[in-house]
Amino acid sequence: ATGQGALPYDERLKFAVRDQLLAVVERYPSLSVRDEPFTHNDGRTVHLLRAEGTVPIYYQGVKYNIPLKMFLPEAFPHAQPICYVTPTSNMIIKPGHSCVDGSGLVRVPYGERWSYPRSNLTEMAGTLSEAFGAEPPLFAKPAGYVPPSPPHTSSPSTAQRPGHPPPPPGVGLNPGAANPGAARTPLYPPPPSDRLSGGLLGSQTRIQSQPPPPPPPPQPQAQVQAPQHQSQAPSSWAEYHQRPAPPPGVGEPAASSSRVVSQTRQNIQQPSPHVLAGGLSVAEGTFKARAITALSDRLRSELDVLRAQSGEEAERLLTLQAELARRREDIEKALRASRAERGA
């Protein structure tokens, strides 16, 4: 095809392009395919095919859906796809991510080693899912978040490159640059809580809440008792190490403070009720148990299908055996009749 909206792909490779798009959509049904204008860094605008939707990841036992766009360049499938994460209005790109820059452009080793026909879109999407599960590129915008003002300069090094889609409104490359003294915003998705509204990373599936943190150590008392003139010496080194160190200028700590510190240490040393035998958390144990149950159900259903098929095959063989016996009897009757006619 020719014209302004024509697709720029090689006519000899159009079936290879179609097959790869069909395969990735079949593997990830949330992706949809259409053509869209794309502007290169040199200012050229062309119509490219792209797969847009979400890819699932699992982070700390929770499922998240990462919004993604995969553009097919003119030289595809010989050239790697151009991939972007596309955050929604309540998401922010993680600054300093290992494979996603501030504009959302994704660079992974699989794409750098792209080689057709060994490489394909389905494996590319799977690689992105694994990389994002290890280090999520997006996190929820915190309440009261104030985006930094963009730099007032027209230098080409800081101007936005035309080949990148625009970032979410008001989000720059470093959310903490405008206020270095402010508290640092968490770069990872927060753990799941009882309220799932607010949007962490797209739609999510809550498996198990995280165990509560240990209680904080007790605060020093406002009034400290006057030091005693003579402290009682410890009877052994073990007793000496077990006794808490007094604050500066104080001989013996208060008895109530000592009991609180001892109770706190016991609480910290006790194993968490959210940890199973073998070091697995409740979330991991629940996830593995559900996976084993699902696999057992699937194997059981496949076994039932095989049993039904084997029963049908056995019935067919018995019918065939009866038919062969009947034909053999007819042939023997014909032979006996023929011998009787020759004898007469």
Task: Answer yes or no: are the C-beta atoms of 84 and 68 closer than 8 Å.
Answer: yes
Average pLDDT over residues 69-98: 94
How far apart CA 119 and CA 108 sit, in angstroms, is: 13
**Strand locations in 130-203 (E):** 138-140
**In sequence order, which ranges of 135-186 are alpha helices (DSSP H)?**
none
How far apart CA 274 and CA 280 sit, in angstroms, is: 9
The better pLDDT of the pair 115, 160 is held by 115
**In sequence order, which ranges of the chain are alpha helices (DSSP H)?**
14-27, 109-112, 121-134, 237-242, 255-269, 282-343
pLDDT score, position 141: 85
**Could you tell me which of 190, 258, 195, 250 has the C-alpha nearest to residue 226?**
250
For 240-256, the three-class secondary structure string (H helix, E strand, C coil) is HHHCCCCCCCCCCCCHH
Question: Per-residue confidence at 254, pLDDT binned at 50, 70, 90?
Answer: very low
Task: Answer yes or no: are the C-beta atoms of 220 and 247 closer than 8 Å.
Answer: yes
**Could you tell me which of 191, 187, 161 has the C-alpha nearest to residue 176?**
187
- Does the pTM exceed 0.85? no
Q: Report pLDDT digits (tens) over 90-112.
A: 899 999 999 999 999 999 999 99
Neighbours of 188 (CB within 10 A): 11
The better pLDDT of the pair 127, 206 is held by 127
pLDDT score, position 3: 60
Beta-bridge partners for 93: 138
- What angle (nearest 5°) sits at the alpha carbon of residue 145, between those of residues 136 and 165? 55
What is the Cβ-side half-sphere exposure of residue 175, based on CA atoms within 13 angstroms?
26
Q: Report pLDDT digits (tens) over 34-51.
A: 999 999 999 999 999 999
In the chain, how long is the greatest CA-to-CA distance?
Answer: 143
How far apart CA 39 and CA 163 sit, in angstroms, is: 5
